[in-house]
Structure 1
Amino acid sequence: MTPTPVAREVVDGLAALPVANIGDSMDRLNVVDAGIQAVWNGAAVAGPAFTVEVAGGDNAGIHAALAEIPAGAVLVVNGHGVTDRALIGELIAERLRKIGCIGFIVDGAVRDIGDLEELGFPVFARASSPAGPYKNGPFRIGTPIALGGVVISPGDIVVGDRDGLAVVPAAEAAAVLERARRKNADEAETRRSILAS
Protein backbone atom coordinates (compact mmCIF):
# COMPACT_ATOMS: atom_id res chain seq x y z
CA MET A 1 0.00 0.00 0.00
CA THR A 2 1.47 3.36 -1.06
CA PRO A 3 0.81 5.99 1.59
CA THR A 4 -0.85 9.26 0.60
CA PRO A 5 1.86 11.90 1.15
CA VAL A 6 0.95 14.75 3.50
CA ALA A 7 2.60 18.13 2.98
CA ARG A 8 5.30 18.97 5.52
CA GLU A 9 3.59 22.22 6.46
CA VAL A 10 0.43 20.30 7.37
CA VAL A 11 2.39 17.91 9.60
CA ASP A 12 4.18 20.86 11.22
CA GLY A 13 0.86 22.61 11.75
CA LEU A 14 -0.60 19.57 13.50
CA ALA A 15 2.56 19.25 15.62
CA ALA A 16 2.02 22.80 16.90
CA LEU A 17 -1.48 22.07 18.24
CA PRO A 18 -2.65 20.20 21.34
CA VAL A 19 -3.74 16.64 20.61
CA ALA A 20 -7.01 17.44 22.41
CA ASN A 21 -7.86 20.05 19.76
CA ILE A 22 -7.01 17.61 16.98
CA GLY A 23 -9.21 14.91 18.50
CA ASP A 24 -12.09 17.37 19.00
CA SER A 25 -11.81 18.42 15.36
CA MET A 26 -12.42 14.80 14.30
CA ASP A 27 -15.68 14.58 16.30
CA ARG A 28 -13.62 13.11 19.18
CA LEU A 29 -12.95 9.98 17.11
CA ASN A 30 -9.53 8.62 16.10
CA VAL A 31 -8.17 9.20 19.60
CA VAL A 32 -6.06 6.29 20.82
CA ASP A 33 -7.18 4.77 24.11
CA ALA A 34 -5.74 6.36 27.22
CA GLY A 35 -3.71 3.28 28.15
CA ILE A 36 -1.06 4.24 25.59
CA GLN A 37 0.92 7.22 26.86
CA ALA A 38 4.32 8.90 26.60
CA VAL A 39 6.83 6.90 28.60
CA TRP A 40 8.81 9.99 29.63
CA ASN A 41 7.57 13.43 30.56
CA GLY A 42 7.66 15.88 27.67
CA ALA A 43 7.77 13.33 24.85
CA ALA A 44 5.87 14.56 21.80
CA VAL A 45 5.70 13.37 18.22
CA ALA A 46 3.97 14.17 14.91
CA GLY A 47 4.62 12.42 11.64
CA PRO A 48 3.50 9.83 9.10
CA ALA A 49 2.99 6.31 10.40
CA PHE A 50 5.12 3.40 9.29
CA THR A 51 3.05 0.45 10.43
CA VAL A 52 4.05 -2.96 11.76
CA GLU A 53 2.01 -5.75 13.35
CA VAL A 54 3.85 -8.27 15.49
CA ALA A 55 2.97 -11.28 17.58
CA GLY A 56 2.58 -10.31 21.22
CA GLY A 57 5.95 -10.08 22.96
CA ASP A 58 7.90 -10.66 19.71
CA ASN A 59 9.90 -7.96 17.93
CA ALA A 60 11.16 -9.80 14.82
CA GLY A 61 8.97 -7.50 12.71
CA ILE A 62 10.53 -4.40 14.24
CA HIS A 63 14.00 -5.62 13.33
CA ALA A 64 12.81 -6.36 9.78
CA ALA A 65 11.24 -2.90 9.54
CA LEU A 66 14.54 -1.17 10.27
CA ALA A 67 15.57 -1.68 6.64
CA GLU A 68 12.38 -0.07 5.33
CA ILE A 69 11.43 2.86 7.58
CA PRO A 70 11.84 6.18 5.73
CA ALA A 71 13.40 9.17 7.44
CA GLY A 72 10.80 11.37 9.11
CA ALA A 73 8.39 8.50 9.84
CA VAL A 74 6.98 7.33 13.16
CA LEU A 75 7.19 3.58 13.77
CA VAL A 76 3.72 2.45 14.91
CA VAL A 77 3.43 -1.13 16.13
CA ASN A 78 0.41 -3.23 16.98
CA GLY A 79 1.84 -5.42 19.73
CA HIS A 80 -1.65 -6.67 20.65
CA GLY A 81 -1.49 -5.04 24.06
CA VAL A 82 0.96 -7.59 25.49
CA THR A 83 2.76 -5.90 28.37
CA ASP A 84 4.94 -8.59 29.95
CA ARG A 85 7.72 -8.35 27.32
CA ALA A 86 9.26 -5.13 26.04
CA LEU A 87 9.40 -4.76 22.26
CA ILE A 88 12.07 -2.06 22.20
CA GLY A 89 14.66 -0.52 24.46
CA GLU A 90 17.44 1.98 24.02
CA LEU A 91 19.46 -0.08 21.52
CA ILE A 92 16.67 -0.26 18.94
CA ALA A 93 15.78 3.36 19.71
CA GLU A 94 19.36 4.35 18.86
CA ARG A 95 19.10 2.48 15.56
CA LEU A 96 15.73 4.06 14.78
CA ARG A 97 17.05 7.52 15.50
CA LYS A 98 20.14 6.92 13.37
CA ILE A 99 18.03 6.08 10.31
CA GLY A 100 15.85 9.16 10.80
CA CYS A 101 12.80 7.65 12.49
CA ILE A 102 11.30 10.38 14.70
CA GLY A 103 9.41 8.30 17.27
CA PHE A 104 7.96 4.97 18.30
CA ILE A 105 4.40 4.08 19.31
CA VAL A 106 3.45 0.59 20.46
CA ASP A 107 0.38 -1.12 21.80
CA GLY A 108 2.62 -3.12 24.09
CA ALA A 109 5.60 -2.57 26.38
CA VAL A 110 9.04 -0.98 26.19
CA ARG A 111 12.04 -0.81 28.51
CA ASP A 112 15.09 1.37 29.24
CA ILE A 113 12.86 4.38 29.85
CA GLY A 114 15.61 6.43 31.48
CA ASP A 115 17.83 5.91 28.45
CA LEU A 116 14.99 6.76 26.06
CA GLU A 117 14.47 10.03 27.91
CA GLU A 118 18.18 10.78 27.85
CA LEU A 119 18.17 10.17 24.09
CA GLY A 120 15.17 12.48 23.72
CA PHE A 121 13.53 9.81 21.57
CA PRO A 122 9.72 10.09 21.75
CA VAL A 123 8.14 6.78 22.77
CA PHE A 124 4.50 6.04 23.57
CA ALA A 125 3.56 2.63 24.98
CA ARG A 126 1.04 0.78 27.10
CA ALA A 127 3.54 -0.30 29.76
CA SER A 128 7.16 -0.90 30.64
CA SER A 129 8.76 -4.24 31.41
CA PRO A 130 12.36 -5.28 31.96
CA ALA A 131 11.73 -8.59 30.19
CA GLY A 132 13.07 -8.78 26.66
CA PRO A 133 11.14 -9.97 23.59
CA TYR A 134 11.16 -13.11 21.49
CA LYS A 135 12.30 -12.89 17.87
CA ASN A 136 10.37 -15.63 16.11
CA GLY A 137 7.60 -13.80 14.22
CA PRO A 138 5.17 -13.74 12.55
CA PHE A 139 4.74 -10.10 11.54
CA ARG A 140 3.31 -7.79 8.89
CA ILE A 141 4.92 -4.58 7.64
CA GLY A 142 3.21 -1.67 5.88
CA THR A 143 -0.41 -2.75 6.27
CA PRO A 144 -3.31 -1.09 8.11
CA ILE A 145 -3.16 -1.94 11.80
CA ALA A 146 -5.21 -1.43 14.94
CA LEU A 147 -3.68 0.53 17.79
CA GLY A 148 -5.56 1.38 20.96
CA GLY A 149 -8.93 1.07 19.25
CA VAL A 150 -8.01 3.11 16.16
CA VAL A 151 -7.24 1.87 12.64
CA ILE A 152 -4.00 3.33 11.30
CA SER A 153 -2.98 3.09 7.66
CA PRO A 154 0.57 3.69 6.46
CA GLY A 155 1.10 7.43 6.00
CA ASP A 156 -1.63 8.54 8.41
CA ILE A 157 -0.36 11.29 10.70
CA VAL A 158 0.07 10.28 14.33
CA VAL A 159 0.28 13.12 16.84
CA GLY A 160 1.20 12.63 20.49
CA ASP A 161 1.69 14.87 23.51
CA ARG A 162 1.19 14.68 27.30
CA ASP A 163 -2.53 13.99 26.84
CA GLY A 164 -2.06 11.00 24.54
CA LEU A 165 -2.37 10.21 20.84
CA ALA A 166 -4.61 11.03 17.89
CA VAL A 167 -4.51 9.60 14.38
CA VAL A 168 -5.27 11.87 11.42
CA PRO A 169 -6.15 10.04 8.18
CA ALA A 170 -3.73 11.24 5.51
CA ALA A 171 -6.46 12.21 3.05
CA GLU A 172 -8.13 14.41 5.70
CA ALA A 173 -5.03 15.96 7.25
CA ALA A 174 -5.31 19.45 5.74
CA ALA A 175 -9.00 19.75 6.63
CA VAL A 176 -8.39 18.45 10.17
CA LEU A 177 -5.60 20.99 10.61
CA GLU A 178 -7.91 23.88 9.70
CA ARG A 179 -10.65 22.69 12.05
CA ALA A 180 -8.15 22.11 14.86
CA ARG A 181 -6.72 25.60 14.42
CA ARG A 182 -10.22 27.08 14.70
CA LYS A 183 -10.88 24.99 17.81
CA ASN A 184 -7.64 26.17 19.36
CA ALA A 185 -8.46 29.81 18.58
CA ASP A 186 -11.98 29.44 19.99
CA GLU A 187 -10.61 27.98 23.22
CA ALA A 188 -8.08 30.81 23.50
CA GLU A 189 -10.89 33.35 23.15
CA THR A 190 -12.99 31.54 25.75
CA ARG A 191 -10.02 31.55 28.13
CA ARG A 192 -9.59 35.31 27.62
CA SER A 193 -13.27 35.85 28.35
CA ILE A 194 -13.04 33.82 31.56
CA LEU A 195 -10.02 35.80 32.74
CA ALA A 196 -11.69 39.11 31.88
CA SER A 197 -14.92 38.38 33.77
Structure 2
Amino acid sequence: MKDLLPDLCDHYEQAIHFLPLTCNDYGGKPIFYGQCVTLRCFEDNSLVRDVLSQDGTGKVLLIDGHGSCRRALLGDQLALLAIKNHWQGIIVNGAVRDIGTLATLDLGVKAIGACPIKTIKRQMGELNVTLNINEDLVYPGDYIYADLNGIILSKTELDLSALNEARS
Protein backbone atom coordinates (compact mmCIF):
# COMPACT_ATOMS: atom_id res chain seq x y z
CA MET A 1 0.00 0.00 0.00
CA LYS A 2 1.46 3.34 -1.06
CA ASP A 3 -1.39 5.58 0.16
CA LEU A 4 -3.27 5.19 3.43
CA LEU A 5 -4.80 8.59 4.13
CA PRO A 6 -7.10 8.90 1.10
CA ASP A 7 -8.71 5.56 1.98
CA LEU A 8 -9.03 6.51 5.66
CA CYS A 9 -10.57 9.86 4.74
CA ASP A 10 -13.10 8.17 2.45
CA HIS A 11 -14.01 5.44 4.91
CA TYR A 12 -13.93 7.46 8.16
CA GLU A 13 -14.94 10.89 6.87
CA GLN A 14 -16.81 11.86 10.05
CA ALA A 15 -14.22 10.46 12.48
CA ILE A 16 -11.07 12.20 11.24
CA HIS A 17 -9.73 15.67 10.66
CA PHE A 18 -6.83 16.82 8.53
CA LEU A 19 -3.91 18.53 10.27
CA PRO A 20 -2.87 21.37 7.95
CA LEU A 21 0.83 21.17 8.68
CA THR A 22 2.94 21.27 5.53
CA CYS A 23 5.74 18.78 6.10
CA ASN A 24 8.51 17.15 4.16
CA ASP A 25 9.00 13.42 4.51
CA TYR A 26 12.47 12.56 5.79
CA GLY A 27 12.18 9.04 7.21
CA GLY A 28 12.51 5.73 5.43
CA LYS A 29 9.00 4.67 6.48
CA PRO A 30 6.48 6.63 4.39
CA ILE A 31 3.33 5.33 6.16
CA PHE A 32 3.10 5.39 9.94
CA TYR A 33 0.45 5.75 12.62
CA GLY A 34 -0.18 5.35 16.31
CA GLN A 35 -1.32 6.98 19.49
CA CYS A 36 -0.04 10.53 19.78
CA VAL A 37 2.44 11.64 22.43
CA THR A 38 2.76 15.43 22.41
CA LEU A 39 5.76 17.55 23.28
CA ARG A 40 6.11 21.33 23.10
CA CYS A 41 9.66 22.69 23.05
CA PHE A 42 11.48 25.58 21.43
CA GLU A 43 14.98 25.04 20.04
CA ASP A 44 15.78 22.60 22.89
CA ASN A 45 15.50 18.86 22.29
CA SER A 46 16.49 17.69 25.80
CA LEU A 47 13.01 16.30 26.45
CA VAL A 48 12.90 14.66 23.00
CA ARG A 49 15.68 12.33 24.13
CA ASP A 50 13.85 11.62 27.39
CA VAL A 51 10.61 10.74 25.59
CA LEU A 52 12.26 8.61 22.90
CA SER A 53 14.08 6.67 25.64
CA GLN A 54 10.70 5.27 26.70
CA ASP A 55 8.78 2.43 25.06
CA GLY A 56 7.10 3.83 21.96
CA THR A 57 5.27 0.72 20.79
CA GLY A 58 2.22 1.85 18.83
CA LYS A 59 3.03 5.53 19.34
CA VAL A 60 3.91 8.61 17.29
CA LEU A 61 5.69 11.60 18.82
CA LEU A 62 4.39 15.00 17.71
CA ILE A 63 6.86 17.76 18.59
CA ASP A 64 5.69 21.36 18.42
CA GLY A 65 8.85 23.37 17.93
CA HIS A 66 6.75 26.47 17.17
CA GLY A 67 7.72 26.22 13.51
CA SER A 68 11.33 27.24 14.16
CA CYS A 69 13.88 25.95 11.66
CA ARG A 70 16.86 27.65 13.32
CA ARG A 71 17.82 24.47 15.24
CA ALA A 72 17.08 20.79 14.58
CA LEU A 73 14.93 19.03 17.16
CA LEU A 74 15.70 15.56 15.76
CA GLY A 75 18.77 13.98 14.18
CA ASP A 76 20.13 10.54 13.40
CA GLN A 77 21.09 9.62 16.98
CA LEU A 78 17.62 10.39 18.37
CA ALA A 79 16.01 8.60 15.42
CA LEU A 80 18.08 5.48 16.16
CA LEU A 81 16.98 5.72 19.80
CA ALA A 82 13.36 5.92 18.62
CA ILE A 83 13.79 2.78 16.52
CA LYS A 84 15.44 0.95 19.41
CA ASN A 85 12.41 1.77 21.57
CA HIS A 86 9.83 0.84 18.90
CA TRP A 87 8.41 4.28 18.03
CA GLN A 88 6.36 4.31 14.82
CA GLY A 89 7.21 7.84 13.80
CA ILE A 90 8.01 11.41 14.72
CA ILE A 91 6.41 14.58 13.37
CA VAL A 92 8.19 17.88 13.99
CA ASN A 93 6.67 21.32 13.66
CA GLY A 94 10.22 22.53 13.23
CA ALA A 95 13.47 21.21 11.78
CA VAL A 96 15.39 17.93 11.65
CA ARG A 97 18.96 17.19 10.59
CA ASP A 98 21.02 14.28 9.25
CA ILE A 99 18.37 13.91 6.56
CA GLY A 100 20.49 11.63 4.39
CA THR A 101 20.67 9.13 7.24
CA LEU A 102 17.04 9.60 8.29
CA ALA A 103 15.97 8.53 4.80
CA THR A 104 17.63 5.14 5.34
CA LEU A 105 15.98 4.37 8.68
CA ASP A 106 12.80 2.34 9.24
CA LEU A 107 11.07 5.23 11.00
CA GLY A 108 8.43 7.67 9.87
CA VAL A 109 9.78 11.22 10.06
CA LYS A 110 8.00 14.37 8.94
CA ALA A 111 9.17 17.93 9.58
CA ILE A 112 8.65 21.36 8.10
CA GLY A 113 12.33 21.74 7.25
CA ALA A 114 15.94 20.80 7.79
CA CYS A 115 18.73 22.58 9.65
CA PRO A 116 22.25 21.29 10.41
CA ILE A 117 22.52 23.14 13.75
CA LYS A 118 21.92 21.22 17.00
CA THR A 119 19.76 22.58 19.80
CA ILE A 120 20.74 24.09 23.07
CA LYS A 121 20.12 21.88 26.11
CA ARG A 122 18.15 23.58 28.87
CA GLN A 123 15.73 20.75 29.81
CA MET A 124 12.84 22.99 28.78
CA GLY A 125 9.56 21.87 27.29
CA GLU A 126 6.15 20.44 28.14
CA LEU A 127 5.18 16.79 27.70
CA ASN A 128 1.67 15.49 27.02
CA VAL A 129 0.04 18.88 26.63
CA THR A 130 -2.59 20.00 24.15
CA LEU A 131 -0.87 21.50 21.12
CA ASN A 132 -2.24 24.28 18.95
CA ILE A 133 -0.78 23.75 15.48
CA ASN A 134 -2.06 26.11 12.79
CA GLU A 135 -5.22 26.74 14.83
CA ASP A 136 -5.90 22.99 15.16
CA LEU A 137 -5.82 21.36 18.57
CA VAL A 138 -3.95 18.09 19.01
CA TYR A 139 -4.50 16.22 22.27
CA PRO A 140 -2.24 13.65 23.87
CA GLY A 141 -3.80 10.26 23.21
CA ASP A 142 -5.30 11.22 19.84
CA TYR A 143 -4.53 8.79 17.05
CA ILE A 144 -2.34 10.15 14.30
CA TYR A 145 -1.99 8.74 10.77
CA ALA A 146 0.62 9.94 8.29
CA ASP A 147 1.72 9.20 4.75
CA LEU A 148 2.97 11.17 1.76
CA ASN A 149 -0.48 12.82 1.52
CA GLY A 150 -0.20 14.49 4.93
CA ILE A 151 -1.42 13.94 8.47
CA ILE A 152 -4.86 13.15 9.89
CA LEU A 153 -6.08 12.81 13.47
CA SER A 154 -8.81 10.78 15.12
CA LYS A 155 -10.06 10.65 18.70
CA THR A 156 -10.26 6.85 18.44
CA GLU A 157 -8.12 4.20 16.79
CA LEU A 158 -9.30 3.48 13.25
CA ASP A 159 -9.83 -0.11 12.11
CA LEU A 160 -7.47 -0.54 9.17
CA SER A 161 -8.84 -4.00 8.41
CA ALA A 162 -12.11 -2.28 7.39
CA LEU A 163 -10.20 -0.71 4.50
CA ASN A 164 -9.19 -4.11 3.15
CA GLU A 165 -12.81 -5.29 3.38
CA ALA A 166 -14.04 -2.15 1.57
CA ARG A 167 -11.57 -2.80 -1.28
CA SER A 168 -12.78 -6.40 -1.72
**Of residues 37, 40, 44 in structure 2, which corresponds to 1:53?**
40
Which residue of structure 1 aligns with residue 66 of structure 2?
80
**Of residues 94, 97, 120 in structure 1, which corresponds to 2:80?**
94
Larger radius of gyration: 1
Shift of 1:126: 0.5
Q: Does 1:118 align with 2:104?
A: yes
CA contact (8 A) 1:30 1:150 kept: no
Q: Does 1:150 align with 2:140?
A: no
Q: Does 1:139 align with 2:125?
A: yes
CA contact (8 A) 2:38 2:62 kept: yes
Which residue of structure 2 aligns with residue 7 of structure 1?
none
Please list every run of 5 or more consecutive structure 1 residues that lacks an aligned counterpart in the other structure. 1-14, 189-197
CA contact (8 A) 2:21 2:133 kept: no
Root-mean-square deviation (CA, aligned residues, Å) is 2.9
CA contact (8 A) 1:74 1:103 kept: yes
Please list every run of 5 or more consecutive structure 2 residues that lacks an aligned counterpart in the other structure. none
TM-score (norm 2): 0.82
Q: Report the AA paired with residue 157 of structure 1.
A: Y
Matches of 1:107 and 1:117 in 2, distance apart? Answer: 18
For the residue of structure 2 that corresponds to 1:109, the secondary structure is: strand
Matches of 1:20 and 1:95 in 2, distance apart? Answer: 31
Matches of 1:28 and 1:47 in 2, distance apart? Answer: 15
Percent sequence identity is: 25
Matches of 2:104 and 2:16 in 1, distance apart? Answer: 33
Which residue of structure 2 aligns with residue 12 of structure 1?
none
The aligned length equals: 166
Q: Does 1:44 align with 2:44?
A: no
More helix by share: 1
Misfit runs of 4+, over 6 Å: none
1:5-84 equivalences under 5 Å are: 18-23=4-9, 25-26=12-13, 30-40=17-27, 43-55=30-42, 57-84=43-70
Q: Does 1:108 align with 2:87?
A: no
